[in-house]
Structure 1
Amino acid sequence: MSEHIPVQQLPHQPRTHKPTPAERGGKIHTRSFSGIFRRLRMTIAGALALLFFGTAWINWDGHQAVLWDLAERKFYVFGTTFLPEDFLLLAFVMSISAFLLLAVTVVAGRVWCGYACPQSTWTWAFMWMEKITEGDSYQRVKLDAAPWSLDKLFRRSSKHALWILASLATGIAFMGYFMPVRTLVSDLASAQLEINYSFWVFFIAAMTYLNAGWLREKVCTHMCPYARFQSVMFDKDTLIIGYDTQRGESRGSRRKDEDYQAKGLGDCIDCHLCVQVCPTGIDIRNGLQMDCIGCAACVDACDSVMDKMGYARGLVSYTSERQLESSPAQRKSTKPGIRWRTSLVAYGVAIVALLAILAISLQAREQMALSAYRDRSVLRINSLGEPVNVYRLKLTNKTQQTQTYQLSLESDSSLYLTKTYQLTLIAGERVELPVAVALKHNDPIHNTGGHIDFRFHMSNINQPEQTIYQSASFLYRGK
């Protein structure tokens, strides 16, 4: 008679919580991974880096293509010169950018943080430098725990040398938009750069080194205001990185060919790879969190595991709260997408209105600026007995080419310029010109006294269609 071993039902043991790197504190060592979203992020980051480091070296009509020359108070943007009085245009551009960011946030969540934010872009670059000098995540953890040696000193020194070089390049490139970059590099190399520019080069370099090399995710989670107010912008249709609990739970390890569903397991094998690749050190399976920057590193990592196990992709994916709360049948009929809502329509209207105002302002913007002020202390009579007023005209050439201008008067009376005024201004030049205007003695109104309204007319000799007018008043005394 065979002996039977009694079967005893064991109570359910709750899953032991494994602290995430963010919960443990300390430095986060992200694991290397690959995937479609990583390639997309690298492509965008490469394009932005090329734009940032390369634009300042482009010449346009004899000037640096983009230059905010603070010393001269002139702003060159691809062939157009802007002056401080054009600041309103910059305000429109910044307002459009702000509303556009808000609209993108409503639709796609923190896609800006994950793919285009300078902090994220530079952090990923610094993490790559760390990888090529100190190895992958487990090698870096081992190196941190190892005692100091020549190998550790060499690896750490190499990493920080690359960080410092990248930071200096960033500081130089940034200041290259506020001082001609070729002059900046030449003066810096010869130690002749002015102290104020030197300070800002090294200040930007130091901030880059600190933020991208040391603070990293702490800038996103504790310092960035966008991370704080983004939750206000989200709704149930906003695109987020989400974990499908209906499909993934319960979690547990298993063999690839095992009937895991018979054991009551979901598709999540609890490998923690999604946690190991996260730059902010969170577990996306715990739900939507403020620390998530939407970079989709966990999506790439999870998809690679699903491929190896032979499961369908999408256990962690770009989705929405509405999708996560719906049943599997409903998900097949409704896919995440742009759903129009009041906030999105309002942002769209604001963006269109601001774009229209900006376009009209740019179209109406003159290529030269003229202002006229009568010198109150100069009211005289010339040798012909005619009253004379003196005006101070300020003329600005807003183009990036040398232009020649001709001054004339428009008046219903016998006002005339005491001499011919023709002047040549180089690109962006501003001059102040004293101009004398006289009233002919044979004019009938000469005897009445009072004032005469007229206009100064400044025309571009090279381009006659460019003209500008400035109103003024002529004062005189009757006989």
Structure 2
Amino acid sequence: MKKSNTPPEEQQSLYAEHKTIHPRIVLGYFTRLKALSGVILLSIYYITPWLQWDGNQAILFDMPARKFHILGLTFWPQDFIYLSFLLIIAAVTLFLFTALAGRLWCGFACPQTIWTDAFLWMERLVEGDRAKQIKLDNTPLSFRKIRIKATKHTLWLVFALFTGFTFVGFFTPIRELSQGILTFNLGEWETFWLFFYSFATYGNAGWLREQVCIYMCPYARFQSAMFDKDTMIIAYDEKRGEARGTRKRDNKDYKNKGLGDCIDCTMCVQVCPTGIDIRNGLQYQCISCSACVDVCDEIMDKMDYPKGLIRYTTENSLNGIPTHIVRPRLFVYGGILLAIFIGMGYAISTRSLVQLDVIRDRSRLFIETDAGLIENVYRLRIMNKDKHPHVYDIAATGIEGLKFAKEHKIEVESGDVITLPVRLAANPDKLVKRSTKVNFKLTAQDNPALTITEEGRFLGPLRR
């Protein structure tokens, strides 16, 4: 039998071996802006738990006490609706900025990007620039290599532990947390979350880095649904750059040889934190960090070519079509965002610091007393959402002569919820319907402005 000379098909593995990316450092307008953004956001994160406001930590999510202190305001689990407002605001804001400027969030404000940049800075501080890092990785194991790597990972771990400590400080008063660490008296949950968040920071920013953006972040997968041809993106001008080719700096007739402005230096690839080649078009791995824009402009300057071979632009602009930055979808997102802000602001400014729930006793519709009165039994659930304890007066209206069977002194501590059984009595001659609406009014004795009114139903016998 004659053997075929056709080589067998090679089986392609679905697993791609990870290659460590060492981004080259570049200093330009956008990278400086990104560094400034990182410093500001990290400063806000690490400083905020130490700030005090009206005797409390400025921002503290006190889970055991079920209190959430935010800039002088105290929220309770019953105020969960405001968290929904915040989540909707965050989502719509993301839609707005994505439609306007692509993955601006990913490149300049995402925690994964900010912390990864911080870890990269420490790596460069210890190991040197990109060339030195690659050389160190390729050298055989030695005492010097172990010393340098150990120093880097020690810095990473200390920074990660401080990050985890700060994170827990948003949920446990950070001054108490500091004392607990110094006296080795941390609670079980504080210890767990401190090490868990520290490990997550160390793993995500130190080891996984770009893999979080490429494989784990869902935003990269659905961003295209928010893009259109007028969305600002970072793109390579193929018409101007192709065909690529190396040349001398003083070569002025390169265009006569069929070359474009791209000298194929691959610097845009070397500075990319996710390791992609922007010249291959828009890719979901691109986080719009703008490093390729700055480094390409730097090369264009050296070659005495116009800047902007890689730039912020739109798909329409690249194709020579007029761009419309301001378009209907931006007004829609902006209108929704403004409406939610106004609604949330109004809801917070008018929220009551006392909550009252009126629950009728369903075991009996009504009771006829020996005095000939009709009684209804209720359970009043009262919550004091103020920072101070209060004594409340309770009154009921809606039926002439309506009164409580006995006087009640209602004392509620800050944050407490009490259930108070009450009996409401009415003269049957004043009942014109089987079911009558009554209003329960709760008022703080020391602050008449602290009041709330809730509706209930008073049932009586059917009159013929």
Query: The TM-score by the shorter chain falls in which range?
Result: 0.7 to 0.9
Of 93-102 and 379-388, the range deviating more from structure 2? 379-388
Note if 1:366 corresponds to 2:360. Answer: no
Letter in 2 for 1:416: K
Please tell me whether the aligned partners of residues 44 and 115 of structure 1 are also in contact (alpha carbons under 8 angstroms): yes
Q: How far apart, in 2, do the equivalents of 1:164 and 1:181 lie? A: 20
Q: 1:214 aligns with which of 207, 212, 217?
A: 207
**8 Å contact from structure 1 (residues 254, 260) kept in 2:** no
- Structure 1 residue 150, shift from structure 2 partner: 2.4
Deviations 1:422-474 (A, max 9, x none): 53533xx223143544537xx46389997764322112344423320123345
- Other-structure match for 1:29: 22
Distance 1:248 1:291 in 2: 22
| 2:392 aligned residue (396, 405, 411) | 405
Residue 421 of structure 1 corresponds to: 409
Give SS of 1:466's match: strand
Distance 1:389 1:235, change over 3 A: closer
Other-structure match for 1:302:
296
Match of residue 277, structure 1, among 271, 282, 291: 271
User: Per the alignment, do residues 444 and 250 of structure 1 end up closer, same or farther by CA in structure 2, a change over 3 Å counting?
Assistant: closer
CA separation of 1:318 and 1:450: change in aligned 2, threshold 3 A: closer
Structure 1 counterpart of 2:356, one-letter code = L
Match of 1:166 in 2: 159
What corresponds to 2:9 in structure 1?
none
Checking the alignment, whether the CA contact within 8 Å between 2:374 and 2:428 is kept in structure 1 is no
Amino acid at match of 1:234: F
CA distance change for structure 1 residues 449 and 271 in 2, over 3 Å: closer, same or farther?
closer
Partner of 1:127: 120
CA distance in 1, matches of 2:387, 2:299: 57
Paired residue for 1:458?
442
More deviation, 113-122/48-57: 48-57
> Does residue 439 in structure 1 map to residue 433 in structure 2?
no
Partner of 2:48: 55
Aligned Cα root-mean-square deviation (Å)? 2.9
1:314 corresponds to which residue? 308
How far apart, CA to CA, are the structure 1 residues paired with 2:372 and 2:174? 57
> Any stretches of 5+ residues in structure 1 without a counterpart?
1-22
Normalised TM-score (structure 2): 0.86
Please point out which of 139, 142, 155 is paired with 2:132.
139
Q: Distance between the aligned counterparts of 1:46 and 1:306, measured in 2? A: 29
Cα deviation for residue 303 of structure 1 reads: 1.2
Output the TM-score relative to the length of structure 1: 0.83
Q: Counterpart in 1 of 2:95?
A: 102
In structure 2, distance between residues paired with 1:344 and 1:406: 51
Contact 1:253–1:271, Cα closer than 8 Å, also in 2: yes
Farther off after superposition, 58-67 or 46-55: 58-67
Question: Would you say the 8 A contact 1:67–1:177 is kept in 2?
Answer: yes
Question: Which one of the candidate residues 183, 186, 203 is aligned to 1:190?
Answer: 183
Shift of 1:407: 2.7
Q: Which amino acid aligns with 2:418?
A: E
- Are the structure 2 counterparts of residues 260 and 127 from structure 1 closer, same or farther at C-alpha, using a change threshold of 3 Å? farther
CA distance in 1, matches of 2:186, 2:375: 50
* Structure 1 residue 131, shift from structure 2 partner: 0.5
The one of 249, 261, 284 equivalent to 1:256 is 249
Quick one: distance in 1 between partners of 2:324 and 2:18? 36
Match of 2:456 in 1: 472
Q: Distance in 2 between matches of 1:62 and 1:400?
A: 11
Cα deviation for residue 207 of structure 1 reads: 1.2
What is the CA-CA distance between 1:27 and the residue it aligns to? 0.1
| Closer/same/farther in 2, CA of residues 392 and 24 from structure 1, 3 Å limit | closer
- Are the structure 2 counterparts of residues 434 and 477 from structure 1 closer, same or farther at C-alpha, using a change threshold of 3 Å? farther
Distance 2:318 2:194 in 1: 47
**How many residues of Structure 1 are paired with residues of Structure 2 in the alignment?**
444
**Gap change, CA 1:339 and 1:455, over 3 Å in 2:** closer
Deviation at 1:265, TM superposition (A): 2.8
Q: Is the 8 A contact 1:388 1:436 kept in 2?
A: no
Distance in 2 separating the partners of 1:407 and 1:102: 48
| Counterparts of 1:447 and 1:247, CA distance in 2 | 88
- Are the structure 2 counterparts of residues 257 and 431 from structure 1 closer, same or farther at C-alpha, using a change threshold of 3 Å? same
Q: Distance in 2 between matches of 1:88 and 1:323?
A: 43
